């Protein structure tokens, strides 16, 4: 196992100003991490802090298959991923069919078919969907603390794949026990709103989603981010990177990455070489996407699924949930 201590190569203000932008591999100053590595940095108070722990092939083939079979179709189109969805590209397949107004960096409004202006601002449409539990929300609708709608409508798949999620939980416990214990204690305070036998409440599933620079919001700040990738076909890039520290990680099929998601992070470009593309063309179409809609990444034959597992902070404020559905299986 390798240990690296990194330094900030740009200031806090400079990295903040890059929020919502694409990060290129050329901006990284360290070699891409591709083997078991721990990375630390010193904060502004001189304290040594953990940035990430990366381990190759921590997820078994059986768990990989289970996760794939259960969850591969659950990353559905979303226009609500904020800065992580990247700058609005008015000439893209999705947006060039719409009349935009008020576009600002990663969000925009547009003219509805009725001719009226949309009241809400949205982001680029990407394949990204949370499953598990969410706190109450009054942003668009008055929603209670709940299982997400998409979890309810795919409940059997959600339950069938839980051993895969529990394996991610075990990796977290093994690598960062102190953080894990704090998150487990916190999650156990509201057992109706946690994923059974884990310290997680929620999993965000992304498909072929290159994230722009962002920090994660809404997750428990004394825990840690947990990332696993499942893949099909051939591709290059997609490195999970922390540009303020000039470092990136090549997280591939069955790998596990524990990372400080409260530091600015992103993905480098995900791309196919000519050889990748020729091999991917032989793959069966298993998603049946309408690529004319223009959801980012759905025109690709390869699949890169990322699973980000975490605990929602505000679930601590929730009351009991209707457990009828939870006990169904």
Region of 86 on the Ramachandran plot (φ > 0 left; ψ -120 to 50 alpha; else beta): left
132 and 112 together in one domain: no
111 with 213, same domain: the answer is: no
The boundaries of the domain holding residue 109 are 87-122
Q: Do 129 and 95 fall within a single domain?
A: no
Confidence band for 136, pLDDT divided at 50, 70 and 90: confident
Number of structural domains, the chain? Answer: 2
Least confident range from 45-49, 147-151, 170-174, 300-304: namely 147-151
Specify whether 202 is located in the same domain as 229.
Answer: yes
Q: Is residue 322 part of a domain?
A: no
Cα→Cα distances 11→183, 222, 243, Å: 30, 24, 11
pLDDT at 328: 43
Residue 6 is assigned to a structural domain of this protein: yes
State whether 78 and 103 are in the same domain. Answer: no
**Claim to verify: residue 167 and residue 280 sit in the same structural domain:** yes
- By CB atoms closer than 10 A (0-12, 13-18, 19+), residue 213 is buried
Q: Looking at residue 137, which CATH number applies to its domain?
A: 3.60.130.30
186 and 167 inside one domain: yes
Q: 320 pLDDT band (50/70/90 cuts)?
A: confident
For the chain, give the mean pLDDT.
94
Do 67 and 105 lie in one domain? The reply is no
Please report whether residue 178 resides in a domain: yes
241 and 163 fall within a common domain: yes
User: Which tokens is 5 given?
Assistant: 């201590």
HSE-up of residue 25 (Cα within 13 Å, Cβ side): 14
Task: Tell me if 324 is assigned to some domain.
Answer: no
- What pTM value is reported for the model? 0.94
Helices marked H in the chain? 12-17, 61-71, 149-153, 155-160, 162-175, 177-188, 274-280
| Mean local confidence (pLDDT), 93-111 | 95
């Amino acid at each position: 196992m390798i240990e690296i201590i990194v330094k900030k190569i740009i200031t806090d203000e400079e990295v903040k100003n890059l929020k919502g932008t694409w990060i290129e591999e050329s901006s990284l100053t360290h070699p891409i991490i591709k083997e078991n590595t721990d990375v630390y940095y010193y904060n502004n108070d001189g304290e040594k802090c953990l940035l990430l722990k990366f381990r190759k092939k921590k997820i078994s083939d059986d768990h990989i298959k289970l996760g794939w079979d259960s969850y591969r179709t659950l990353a559905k189109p979303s226009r609500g991923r904020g800065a992580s969805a990247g700058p609005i590209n008015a000439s893209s397949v999705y947006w060039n069919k719409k009349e935009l107004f008020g576009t600002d960096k990663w969000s925009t409004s547009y003219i509805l078919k009725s001719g009226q202006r949309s009241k809400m601002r949205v982001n680029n449409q990407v394949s990204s969907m949370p499953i598990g539990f969410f706190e109450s929300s009054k942003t668009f609708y008055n929603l209670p603390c709940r299982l997400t709608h998409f979890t309810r409508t795919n409940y059997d798949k959600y339950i069938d794949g839980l051993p895969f999620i529990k394996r991610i939980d075990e990796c977290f416990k093994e690598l960062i026990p102190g953080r894990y214990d704090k998150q487990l204690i916190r999650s156990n305070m509201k057992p109706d709103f946690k994923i059974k036998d884990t310290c997680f409440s929620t999993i965000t599933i992304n498909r072929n989603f290159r994230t722009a620079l962002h920090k994660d919001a809404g997750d428990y700040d004394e825990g840690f981010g947990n990332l696993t990738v499942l893949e099909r076909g051939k591709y290059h890039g997609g490195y999970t990177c922390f540009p303020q520290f000039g470092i990136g990680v090549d997280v591939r099929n069955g790998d596990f990455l524990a990372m400080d998601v409260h530091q600015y992070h992103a993905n480098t470009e995900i791309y196919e070489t000519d050889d990748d593309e020729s091999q991917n063309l032989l793959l069966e179409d298993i998603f049946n996407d309408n690529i004319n809609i223009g959801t980012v990444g759905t025109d690709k034959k390869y699949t890169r699924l990322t699973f980000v597992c975490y605990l929602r902070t505000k679930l601590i404020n929730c009351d009991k949930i209707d457990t009828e559905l939870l006990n169904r299986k």
